[in-house]
Amino acid sequence: MSLAIRSAREIVGELTDRRLSAETLLRMTLDRIAEVNPSVNAIVGMADEGDLLAEARACDQSALRGPLHGLPIAVKDLVNVKGLKSTRGSPIFADFVPETDDLIAARLRAAGAILIGKTNTPEFGLGSHTFNPVYGATRNPYDPSRTCGGSSGGAAVALATGMLALADGSDMMGSLRNPAAWGNVYGFRPSWGRVPSEPVGDTFLHQLSTLGPMARSPDDLALLLDVISGPDPRQPHARDAEKVGAVMAGDLTGKRIGWLGDWGGAYPMEAGLLDQCVHAVDVLADLGCILEEVEPPFPAEALWESWTTLRSWSVAASLDPLAAHKDSLKDTAIWEMERGQSFSALDVHAASVIRSEWFTCAARLFDRYDALVLPATQVWPFDVALDYPTTISGHALDTYHRWMEVVIPVSLIGLPCLAAPAGFSQTGLPAGIQIFGPRGSDADLLGLGAAYHEATRWPQLRPAFPQQEAVT
């Protein structure tokens, strides 16, 4: 079976049993990158090949270090990795090589992974379209003239094309859900706090963004989620949760699923996208779920007001150390910074009150439903040369990110969410759905996703170009 569609858990199993050597796997990975990456530009900032091969040989000669022993992984270029150029997609950091690993990179190393390079991201991760002035744009492997989404775009494309078996992502405003949808792969935004962020600066106030796994199946998501999860004593809100372990398709009979659609028309959708997502939701009904359409449970504009205030406040705080380099920042970063700086403390408080009200409302919904479903995007993958959409089906958009408004009900209150493939348009463009539940329901969502995956297997049925030789 092609490495491009094989399970990461299977590959790790062969590495663990020594049926597959880390050196052989690394050479195949490097060959695959050389074959595919020039067309899509997903993996950047590669480590020295000789150093990587030496590390792989050392893995083959050593005792097992952890559950990812010998598995090549490229880390999102918002994460500092010791010895690798870590640019955040910005010319300010174009030559920056960290001397230490960020927490997630350290956890990957401790699990035995070989960190081979970085996956491309938008500048500072802003905007769901992966392009930056350091490495350029990452292209959609199903149509290279179109975007792959973002900000975890490089990660999604590396998975879709078989350059990686697992990838890390991060998600504030759909940053792993959007590229998972447009890459025909899976992404998982965990319950906020399950995967701790880097313990620097403020660790109390900002609760919008989280790290999470990406893969070609829910079971592979669980494999990586268990590696990167767990509390850190330096993080006050880090959640202690049981390991998920392997997830398998179970009986979904009687599971209550609420379909939110386009939130009563509040979220404009490009033609055909909503219908494609309905087909995906119908799979859950075929598996025995009780499916109900849900009326908008909360005013969409109130969610947007809360979200844009808290997001700009958070982004402004993170970019504040770069104020002296303001002329080097992209327009959207400057917009977020100036907007966030304009808010009073009571403005932020008012936004958080709305957030609190939505959390209470959602809790009541989960008394009735085991999970809720929304589309993962509001548009199909757009022209790679376009910075961002300004209209959707005739609806004018007032910000650079309004076209991803559909993700904020999840992000605003830190809910766990599975981004799952939803099939393809008549022209071959991928779509996706968001399946989300109450905080702490991570394992349940992955189990539901495993059943959905067995019924659909979109990443395996429609792998991205080009195919490759099987692992032997």
For the segment 66-107, what is each residue's pLDDT rounded down to a tens digit?
999 999 999 999 999 999 999 999 999 999 999 999 999 999
Whole-number pLDDT of residue 471:
38
Using DSSP, state whether 284 is helix, strand or coil: helix
Whole-number pLDDT of residue 239:
82
Whole-number pLDDT of residue 1:
44
Which positions ≥6 away from 7 have C-beta within 8 Å? 165, 216, 217, 219, 220
Least confident of 17-26, 54-63, 235-244, 351-360: 235-244
Residue 214 is inside which H or E element, if any? strand 210-215
Could you give the maximum distance between any two Cα atoms of the chain, in Å?
62
Q: Is the pTM of this model over 0.95?
A: yes
pLDDT band for position 236 (cuts 50, 70, 90): very high
Whole-number pLDDT of residue 238:
85
Average pLDDT over residues 423-450: 98
pLDDT cut 70: percent of the chain above it: 98
Task: Kindly tell me if the per-residue pLDDT of 197 is higher than 80.
Answer: yes
Task: Kindly tell me if the per-residue pLDDT of 4 is higher than 80.
Answer: no
> Does residue 151 have a cis peptide bond before it, meaning omega lies within 30 degrees of 0?
yes
| Residue of 154, 146, 225 lying closest to 185 (CA atoms) | 154
| Residue of 7, 43, 45, 11 lying closest to 25 (CA atoms) | 11
Task: Kindly tell me if the per-residue pLDDT of 115 is higher than 70.
Answer: yes
R_g (Cα) of the chain, nearest Å: 21
Annotate 356-407 with DSSP letters as a single string.
Answer: HHHHHHHHHHHHH-SEEEEES-SS---BTT-SS-SEETTEE-SSTTGGGGGG
| Residue of 455, 418, 460, 72 lying closest to 285 (CA atoms) | 455
Per-residue pLDDT tens for 152-180?
999 999 999 999 999 999 999 999 999 99
Task: Kindly tell me if the per-residue pLDDT of 470 is higher than 50.
Answer: no
Whole-number pLDDT of residue 2:
64
Residue 263, token pair as written in the block = 């939130």
Average pLDDT over residues 48-57: 98
Q: Is the torsion defined by CA of 339, 345, 346, 350 positive or negative?
A: positive
CB 273 within 8 A of CB 315: no
Which positions ≥6 away from 426 have C-beta within 8 Å? 272
List % helix, strand, coil for the chain (3-state, nearest 5): 40, 15, 45
- Residue 167, strand partner residues: 214
- Residue 272, strand partner residues: none
Q: What is the residue-averaged pLDDT of the chain?
A: 96
Is 345 exposed, middle or buried (CB count within 10 Å of its CB: 0-12, 13-18, 19+)? exposed
Whole-number pLDDT of residue 469:
42
Which positions ≥6 away from 158 have C-beta within 8 Å? 42, 43, 74, 119, 164, 167
Average pLDDT over residues 248-263: 97
Query: How many whole angstroms separate alpha carbon 409 and alpha carbon 298?
Result: 9
Whole-number pLDDT of residue 241:
85
Residue ranges per domain, the chain?
A: 8-461
Compute how many other C-beta atoms are within 10 angstroms of the C-beta atom of residue 176: 33
Task: Kindly tell me if the per-residue pLDDT of 278 is higher than 50.
Answer: yes
Which positions ≥6 away from 313 have C-beta within 8 Å? 206, 340, 343, 348, 351
Residue 323, token pair as written in the block = 């104020």
Average pLDDT over residues 242-259: 96
Annotate 64-124 with DSSP letters as a single string.
Answer: --STTTT-EEEEETTS--TTS---TT-GGGTT---SS--HHHHHHHHTT-EEEEEE---GG
- Residue 424, strand partner residues: 430
Give, to the nearest 10 degrees, the angle between helix 49-61 and helix 22-40: 150
> Which CATH superfamily includes the segment(s) 8-461?
Amidase signature (AS) domain (3.90.1300.10)
Per-residue pLDDT tens for 291-324?
999 999 999 999 999 999 999 999 999 999 999 9
Task: Kindly tell me if the per-residue pLDDT of 377 is higher than 80.
Answer: yes
Which positions ≥6 away from 325 have C-beta within 8 Å? 92
Is 322 exposed, middle or buried (CB count within 10 Å of its CB: 0-12, 13-18, 19+)? middle
